[in-house]
Every structure is written in C-alpha cells, then in structure tokens.
Amino acid sequence: MQIGERMKLLRLSKNMTIKKLAAKTGLSVGFISNVERDVNSPTISSLQKICRALDTDIGDFFTNINNSGIVLRRQHRQLLQTDTQGKFKVEIFSLPHKKLQPSCIDILPGGQYGDPTMCHEDEEICLILEGKVRFMAGDKEYVLEEGDCIYIEPLAPHWLRNEGQTMVRTFWVTLNSGV
C-alpha cells in the first residue's frame, strides 16, 4: 500500500474531508488530493503536519506497507494483570492505533476474573479455547465450554469463574470505542 492510499484510508476513518485536512495542516486541497492519489510525494515536513492532523505518526505510513495483515506472535504478548493468588493472568497483544484489541485470559481451577461490577464502554467477544467456565453477563449466567463464544454488550457487567478441575484458556477481542 502506498503512502497516499494509507493517508486517504486514515483520513476517511476519522470522517475528515480533504478540505478539513488541508485547513488543519495549512497545505492546499490540491496538494492533499495529489498525495492521496500518489501523484505527489510529501516532504517530511508536510508528512509531519499531516500526521499531527490525523493523530498518528510517520512510522505508521511505513510499517508493513506491502502487508495486508499484522502477525502477533505468542512471545510478544504483554502481561497486563494477575491476581494476588495467581489464579488468573491477562495477556494482551499490542496493536497501537487499532480498534480491535486481542487478549488472552487464563484462569486456574477455583479462579475468577472480574466481578459483578466490572463493565466498560467497549464491545467484546470471548472464545473459550480450553476448559469450562461459569460466565456472568448482565443478569444472565452461562456455562461455556471449549469452542463456545459469547458477545458482551458495552456497559454490561461481566465476570467469569473456573469451577472445573482444569485450566480455562480464553481469547478475547475488544472493540475499543475510544480509538
């Protein structure tokens, strides 16, 4: 993907017109249009102005330009949270500037993640990779097993407990509303 195409996609994702981007950067509408069509190449100075206006950085225009996907390796997970007894751990995959954020939560037998008051503004999907878990979402209780998936509405309180004898492994995808 060329710089112009990336710039256009980013501008459109922010619901910004070429005219508004031009006004925020001090660059002409014609220049912005030509860059998006890869007719002109921006200078570093122009690209910095564009990045500030689009709330991104220059590196985003050059990372994986020829790739349509991003590989997230197991060894690059980052430990986000554990409980004091070590009954659960939350690991995230870093995807800066992306709306979808994947994570893995492992729960030992007798462990629980979350509580009846845990809620947030983001939508989530949880897939049970291994084990069996009691899952509370809103005022409903579910028993989920390997291969089951649950969608959680924004602001719905939710928590899960491993009442079995084996480790529970889950994979989550969160749609960040703030990105």
Q: Residue 128 pLDDT > 90, yes or no?
A: yes
Place 22 in a pLDDT band, splitting at 50, 70 and 90: very high
Q: Residue 62 pLDDT > 70, yes or no?
A: no
Structure tokens at 145: 């097993």
> Considering the entire predicted model, what is its pTM?
0.61
Q: What is the per-residue pLDDT for 11?
A: 85
Q: Choose among 64, 68, 167: nearest CA to 108.
A: 167
Q: What is the β-pairing status of strands 123-130 and 100-107?
A: unpaired
Which CATH number fits the domain 74-175, given the four candidates 2.60.120.10, 1.10.1040.10, 3.50.50.60, 1.25.10.10? 2.60.120.10
Give the angle subtended at the CA of 135 by the CAs of 129 and 137, to the nearest 5°: 125
CATH 3.30.70.20 applies to domain 3-62? no
- Give 140's strand partners: 137
Contact 106, 86 (CB under 8 A): no
Place 115 in a pLDDT band, splitting at 50, 70 and 90: confident
- Give 79's strand partners: 91
How many other β-carbons are positioned within 10 Å of the β-carbon of residue 91?
17
The 3-state DSSP class for residue 47 equals helix
What burial class does residue 68 get, using C-beta atoms within 10 Å of its C-beta: 0-12 exposed, 13-18 middle, 19+ buried? exposed
Q: Per residue in 132-163, pLDDT tens?
A: 999 998 889 999 999 999 999 988 999 999 99
18 against 73, higher pLDDT: 18
Domain boundaries, the chain: 3-62, 74-175
From residue 30, alpha-carbon distances to 18, 26, 53 in Å are 9, 12, 17
Q: Which percentage of the chain shows pLDDT scores above 90?
A: 42
Contact 18, 32 (CB under 8 A): yes
Q: What is the per-residue pLDDT for 43?
A: 81
Q: What is the per-residue pLDDT for 94?
A: 75
